[in-house]
Structure 1
Amino acid sequence: MAVLSKIRERSMFLIIIIGLALFAFVLDPSTLGDFFNSSKVNEVGEVDGEAISRQEFANELESYKQQTGGRASEMQAAKTVWDNIVRKKIYKSQLNEAGITIGEADVWNEVVNAPFVQNNPQYQNEVGLFDENKFKQFLADTKENNEQLWAQWSSYMNQVRDNAETNTFNNLVTAGLGASLKEGEMQYLVDNTKLNGQFVYVPYTSIADSLVKLKKSEVEAYIQDHKDQFQVEASRDISYVKFDIAATPEDEQAIMLDVASLKEDFKTTDNDVLFLSENDSDTGLNSGYIFKSNVNTLIADDLFAANEGDVVGPYKDLDAIKLSKITEVVQMPDSVKSSHILIPFVGAQRVAADVTRTEEEAKQLADSLLTVVKRRKSKFAELAKEFSSDQGSAEKGGEYDWYNYNRMTPAYRDFTFEGKVGEMEVVKSPFGFHVIKIDDQKNKQKVVKLATFTKNIVASEETENAVFRQAEEFALAVSKENNFFDAAKEMNYNPKPAVGLKVLDENVPGIGNQRQIVSWAFNNETEVNAFKRFDLEGSHVVAFVTGIEEEGLMSVNKATSRVRPILMNEKKAALIAEKFNGSDLPEIAKATSTSLRTASNITLKSPTLSGVGVEPKIVGAMFNAEIGKLYNKIEGNRGVFAFKLTSKEEPTALPNYDASRKRIAEARKRQTFKMYEAIKKASDVEDNRAFMYSN
């Protein structure tokens, strides 16, 4: 019955959908198949007609999240994965057009010739030479018996393929990007030819903006004439008022009193972990030692004057109220110098792709190395260079220079700070097994272990309700008057703008990661002047849509700020040019009420005019000018010019221009990213990710 009820509720919706499909069929029968085509529904986008399925995208996304350990947000990960997929398909397409294929043999050759494969004893024969059959057997066994390790190898080989395709295409293109000696000579002349002359300059700022009238139609005409410069993605502009849920002084005082009431029970308990848990402490037990320098200065003296078993507080520390019990007092150095040999294993953190040893094998190797260095300490540096995977320290014989208590991973830290100088041991950490030698310690001092009960200073329920009522009252005022800004002004709120939000954005300036607000702003039913209250973590936001920009040509209103200065300068140039009368520079200077200026030793490489600034247009005109000829009414970046070139000093000729030629060629070959961007721009890329993340 429940299912039938749901169907009845949605019956009208289903009728409308079917009706639209039939209407489309009447107009064009071929569209009916597309309408219900599941492959279309399951596509995230296309690259030159090749579909990117939701499954392909989801698999790549999941793989990327695992590689990054979830450190990237959903939208950051989606953008990176999309860019990677598009890049791979574009490069593959280019290679196919060129008749070049990266086959399994190419990938295999790259893998087996990698130094970490060639030099691994596990894949070598009795005489120490790489044995391809042993390597093949290792991969076969791994695929059959070790899913995690095989996943790493598969990922590595896929990356080899992708890199090979990218590098092959880039190498093909850059092979033709050389430069001739003549180009080298021309570049040398352009960079080093010195220009001298005189000029008259009247800045655009000499004409007040109020004297220039600009029509909306002129802005629109400029946009139409420069369409390629004003293509935009769909975007939304919003304004919002944010109501933060913050604790009041009364809330803080109430929390202080609650924590104070626990002091005696905390002092007498013999199970600190249980006490913290049963009383809902916002922090657990910290097993590390605390130095006085790491404690809030307002309470440090009291804590370090107390004895073991004493409870200090309650006291305020940042945004929390705390009670601290001293559970242990010892003497400990504040700095240690040590050396180590790191032996990683499969599954350890930051392990390299070429590491294949198991945890048991890593422990055996570490124990063997410890036995050697205990017998002969002089061997430590040599063995660190040979065996340690921590390349930074291995190059220095495994040595870590002076470090403080909080720098190292806990297991490493505890051994080196609690042990004695000269002691050696094997210690396991998330990164593998460390063979550690304590080289030196300094500045021993009193340190303590603390059991700290913490209550974060948060708003009370009463305060939360009061803030909610404020947000609700503001939203109600907006709905009555239908004027967001008038309501904000009347209630003394200061709206903040968030301009140019894109469809896949997740961050709203001033609010943070709030994908739901972006999704709402791009909803088909959301129009200009629409508003909505959002109940967020720690705040309420009333958002209001102030502008909608669809994909395509930028609107006149949006483009005006960019176009206005250009058109204003054009109009000002025309007014200024009317004054540039005369047959020579002194006459023009007199007519424009300015002085004659001198340009000395300027070059195209550094096109700066003294007293004016950077003027590439004018310096470029000077470079191609005839000596002694007057050039009048020339529009530059900053004003209108008249000039006369008096001399042109070419640099001393070189025996050859090979160095200059090489610089040009190398610069061109470094432009592979620009090459890719150009190909991408010329490709037909359809991005439908917005449909996946519309909610």
Structure 2
Amino acid sequence: MAILSKIRERSMFLILVIGLALFAFVLDPSTISDFFNASKVNEVGDVNGESISRQEFAEALDAYKKQTGNRVSEMQAAKTVWNNLLRQKIYKSQLEEAGITVGEADIMQALFDSPTVQGDQRFQTSGIFDKSKLKEHLATIKDANNDEWRAWQNYMVSLRDNLEKTTYDNLVSSGLGASLKEGEGQYLTENTKVSGKYVYVPYTSIADSTVTVKKSDVKAYIESHKNQYQVEASRDVKFVKFDIVPTLEDEEALRAEVAKLIEDSEDPNNRNILKGLKNTTDYVAFLEDAKSDISLDDNYKFKAQVPQGIADKLFEGKEGEVFGPYKDNDYFKLSKITKITQLPDSVQSRHILIPFIGANPSGYEPTKNEADAKIMADSLLTVLKADSSKFEDLAKELSSDKGSADKGGFYDWFGYNRMVPEFRDFAFEGKKGDMGVVKTVFGFHIIKIEDQKNFQPAMKLATFGKKIEASEATENTIFQNAETFALNLTNGKKYIDLVKEKSLTSLPAVGLKVLDENVPGIGNERAIITWAFGKDVEVGNFKRFDVDGGYVVVMLTDKTSKGLMSVDKAVQSVRPIILNEKKAEMISSKMSGATLEDIAKSSGQTIRGAVDVNLQSPSLSGVGYEPKIIGAMINAKENKVYTKVVGDRGVYAFVTEKKELPTALPNYDTYRKRIANNRKNKTFQMYEAVKKAADINDSVGSFYGIQQ
């Protein structure tokens, strides 16, 4: 009661606060968020100072999810929508700077030119697209302001966005041509061959252990290459997983329970006799009453299609025999043979398809009702039974299955599971030469069995299956193990000591981003990401989570802020670069002499030869890929010694002895066009460059309650 009293005492104060907030909102709706939170939570980011509001993001997100039929996850949708909004804002600002506007007339023309719109029969007159019909339709639904109008609005917005992108790309591409001189230069660069001699001192000639790379070196490197080492905000965690898996005791108990279903038993509630699988004939009811985890499959099975561990026994059995319990993947099963026959494994047939209204049209719009379609199919069957030679011509003329009609309705050899059940049953259970009418989801088929081959035993099985799962006692034990682990951490025990003590496995998940939902090693667990980015969660904090199939105890091990990568994170990728730079300096300091012979002697290396190498295949024999060195040799003066040239694999000294220029071409337009086309095809790189130069503030995480 004391709590209720306090609430009543404070109620007038709460009403006053809410009233003031609503009053402020009436005066200026944008101020309500500022009233409660100075961080302006009504925004999810901005591009070059132009904000992207929560409402704009939410509407775009909702439209995208509807467009994709909600087939993408929330976070996948959020990432796509954010990138789309970025692209729109960036293209729009670029076009505004260029003085170009995409207007309503442009959008309407794009709408008229849309193949989807032009192909819509509602907007056609005598099979030809009619603009006036589209305009009339849009005017009608605009007045109604219904969901269809909003869908058209979204479509026109997407057309506008595509127009802005295309316009900008075309604008930039129009200035990205190439000259014939550039074409000639490209031809010469690619096809000039050089021969010469060189001394090569590999980086591997100096042991890594003799070179010191300090953290200050790594820091200096990433600060001088800032653009290459920008990172998003991320989190690193490590975790121990406690999987709920059945024990051997659980499996044996389940096996015994399944075995009881073979024979009849007495119902403990009313003492009626419950038929077991051995004596029942109503298999659907049996599986339902026994709570089978698999449904009845009434199809015939060949030997290769049944569980191979029991296949031999099954195909030696007789109708009515029950086999099991046997383990098949994650189930214990019982199987009863209900029917044995001989079936072909492949059939050839012809058919004529007569669809009806309500059937699956399969690209064809039916005009007949079901009764009329059946009358037509029966009439055709009568004609064909009198003269089957007409089948091919009638199929070409009347069948709506265009895939086979052109072949006279012919289907070459197909397997048992290729066709819909009704078609399949007629083709495989009938005899060669049989003809009949069969109804399927596509309509009525007049079918003729042309041939059958490879007859072999097949059987129908009534199979009961129970998924092998952990018992309640096992689940409780695993839960207690996870709880105890977390409790020990709370009481001050070290994570690594606990892992060793209990013989557990600790796994890392590195670089988790704010909009991620998948945690490597665990799966789709958005809750863990949200926790890891919590404002009050610090390195060393931990939490137990319920996950699919068990529990995990997760510990936060590192927090990375948006911006320049930390030295610790950069070491792994930067250290090899700095190592080679330092080795290059060490090698160069010892590389002395005026001739290759002197340089080889001072470096402890031999002189090597390069014959007819070029940039189309920039490799040196015995060394490997070295485009920098081959490029340097092509551009070097002949018979001049060049030394201390740093390559990808080591340091070089070389002499270019001969250059062989390619045969001059009468025209270099082919190469010019290739350069121009290559430039014009780099619209993605162009956008990425503009995006990189833009001032982008990404706070999409705040939309999901994560304050970074």
**Which bracket does the TM-score occupy, shorter chain normalised?**
0.7 to 0.9
1:44 is matched with 44
**Correspondent of 2:564 among 553, 557, 560:** 553
> SS state of the match for residue 671, structure 2?
helix
2:687 is matched with 676
Q: How many residue pairs are counted as aligned between the two chains? A: 672
- Find the aligned partners of 1:55 and 1:318 in 2 and give their Cα distance: 49
**Correspondent of 1:589 among 600, 618, 621:** 600
> SS state of the match for residue 90, structure 2?
helix
- Find the aligned partners of 2:47 and 2:438 in 1 and give their Cα distance: 53
Matched, 1:467 2:448: no
Matched, 1:579 2:590: yes
1:74 is matched with 74
- Find the aligned partners of 2:352 and 2:138 in 1 and give their Cα distance: 28
Which residue identity does 2:244 align to in structure 1?
I
Which residue identity does 1:323 align to in structure 2?
L
Deviation at 1:216, TM superposition (A): 1.6
Matched, 1:628 2:639: yes
Deviation at 1:106, TM superposition (A): 4.1
2:387 is matched with none
Which residue identity does 2:46 align to in structure 1?
E
Write out aligned runs for 1:176-195 (5 A): 176-195=175-194
Write out aligned runs for 1:128-139 (5 A): 129-133=128-132
Deviations 1:180-223, CA, capped at 9 Å, x for gaps: 11111110001001111111111111111222222222221222
Deviation at 1:378, TM superposition (A): 3.6
Deviations 1:647-681, CA, capped at 9 Å, x for gaps: 11111100101111121122222222222222322
- Find the aligned partners of 1:684 and 1:350 in 2 and give their Cα distance: 53
Deviations 1:43-95, CA, capped at 9 Å, x for gaps: 43334444444444444444544554544333223323333343344334444
**Correspondent of 1:478 among 473, 489, 497:** 489
Q: Is the 8 A contact 1:343 1:362 kept in 2?
A: no
TM (norm. structure 1) is: 0.83
Q: Is the 8 A contact 1:533 1:543 kept in 2?
A: yes
Q: Is the 8 A contact 1:333 1:417 kept in 2?
A: yes
- Find the aligned partners of 2:579 and 2:376 in 1 and give their Cα distance: 77
Counterparts in 2 of 1:198 and 1:433: CA distance versus 1, 3 Å: farther
1:510 is matched with 521
1:210 is matched with 209
Which residue identity does 1:271 align to in structure 2?
D
Counterparts in 2 of 1:64 and 1:379: CA distance versus 1, 3 Å: farther
Which residue identity does 1:200 align to in structure 2?
V
- Find the aligned partners of 2:356 and 2:56 in 1 and give their Cα distance: 31
- Find the aligned partners of 1:361 and 1:53 in 2 and give their Cα distance: 53
Matched, 1:304 2:315: yes
Write out aligned runs for 1:80-229 (5 A): 80-113=80-113, 125=125, 129-133=128-132, 160-229=159-228
> SS state of the match for residue 344, structure 2?
strand
Root-mean-square deviation (Å): 4.3
Q: Is the 8 A contact 1:49 1:684 kept in 2?
A: yes
1:245 is matched with 244
- Find the aligned partners of 1:341 and 1:6 in 2 and give their Cα distance: 80
Write out aligned runs for 1:580-659 (5 A): 580-659=591-670
> SS state of the match for residue 209, structure 2?
helix
Matched, 1:498 2:509: yes
Counterparts in 2 of 1:70 and 1:116: CA distance versus 1, 3 Å: closer
Matched, 1:279 2:312: no
Deviation at 1:159, TM superposition (A): 5.0
Deviation at 1:453, TM superposition (A): 1.4
Which residue identity does 1:280 align to in structure 2?
K
> SS state of the match for residue 517, structure 1?
helix
Q: Is the 8 A contact 2:357 2:369 kept in 1?
A: no
Write out aligned runs for 1:282-297 (5 A): 282-297=293-308
- Find the aligned partners of 2:2 and 2:446 in 1 and give their Cα distance: 67
> SS state of the match for residue 323, structure 2?
strand
Deviations 1:415-466, CA, capped at 9 Å, x for gaps: 655567675768554xx66867566544344433333211111111222222
Write out aligned runs for 1:15-34 (5 A): 34=34
Q: Is the 8 A contact 1:123 1:135 kept in 2?
A: yes
Counterparts in 2 of 1:591 and 1:537: CA distance versus 1, 3 Å: same
- Find the aligned partners of 1:687 and 1:350 in 2 and give their Cα distance: 48
The structure having more radius of gyration, on CA atoms, is 2
Q: Is the 8 A contact 1:344 1:389 kept in 2?
A: no
Deviation at 1:558, TM superposition (A): 0.7
Once structures 1 and 2 are overlaid, which stretch shifts more, 494-503 or 116-125? 116-125
> SS state of the match for residue 592, structure 2?
coil
Once structures 1 and 2 are overlaid, which stretch shifts more, 82-91 or 246-255? 82-91
Deviations 1:130-149, CA, capped at 9 Å, x for gaps: 5445566677899999x998
Deviation at 1:646, TM superposition (A): 0.9
Deviation at 1:505, TM superposition (A): 1.4
Deviations 1:328-367, CA, capped at 9 Å, x for gaps: 4454433345678999999999999xx9x6x777979988
Task: For structure 1, list consecutive stretches of 5 or more residues without a partner in the other structure.
Answer: 22-29
Write out aligned runs for 1:383-532 (5 A): 401-408=412-419, 413=424, 417=428, 423=435, 429=441, 441-532=452-543
Which residue identity does 1:87 align to in structure 2?
R
1:268 is matched with 279
Task: For structure 2, list consecutive stretches of 5 or more residues without a partner in the other structure.
Answer: 22-29, 264-275, 384-389
Once structures 1 and 2 are overlaid, which stretch shifts more, 270-279 or 214-223? 270-279
Deviations 1:451-484, CA, capped at 9 Å, x for gaps: 3211111111222222223323332333334421
Counterparts in 2 of 1:559 and 1:244: CA distance versus 1, 3 Å: same
Deviation at 1:580, TM superposition (A): 0.9
Counterparts in 2 of 1:418 and 1:88: CA distance versus 1, 3 Å: farther
- Find the aligned partners of 1:570 and 1:449 in 2 and give their Cα distance: 72
Which residue identity does 1:575 align to in structure 2?
M
- Find the aligned partners of 1:364 and 1:39 in 2 and give their Cα distance: 68
Once structures 1 and 2 are overlaid, which stretch shifts more, 463-472 or 162-171? 162-171
Which residue identity does 2:82 align to in structure 1?
W
> SS state of the match for residue 296, structure 2?
coil
> Once the two structures are aligned, what percentage of the paired residues are identical?
55
Q: Is the 8 A contact 1:481 1:487 kept in 2?
A: no
Which residue identity does 2:178 align to in structure 1?
A
1:24 is matched with none
Once structures 1 and 2 are overlaid, which stretch shifts more, 563-572 or 187-196? 563-572
Once structures 1 and 2 are overlaid, which stretch shifts more, 657-666 or 370-379? 370-379
2:257 is matched with 258
Which residue identity does 2:173 align to in structure 1?
T
Which residue identity does 2:556 align to in structure 1?
V
- Find the aligned partners of 2:360 and 2:694 in 1 and give their Cα distance: 40
- Find the aligned partners of 1:648 and 1:212 in 2 and give their Cα distance: 38
Deviations 1:369-410, CA, capped at 9 Å, x for gaps: 96998776445775699x6687xx788787665443334555
Deviation at 1:173, TM superposition (A): 2.8
- Find the aligned partners of 1:410 and 1:416 in 2 and give their Cα distance: 10
Counterparts in 2 of 1:378 and 1:185: CA distance versus 1, 3 Å: same
Counterparts in 2 of 1:99 and 1:426: CA distance versus 1, 3 Å: farther
Counterparts in 2 of 1:543 and 1:637: CA distance versus 1, 3 Å: same
Deviations 1:262-286, CA, capped at 9 Å, x for gaps: 1122233343223222322111222
2:330 is matched with 319
Q: Is the 8 A contact 2:357 2:367 kept in 1?
A: no
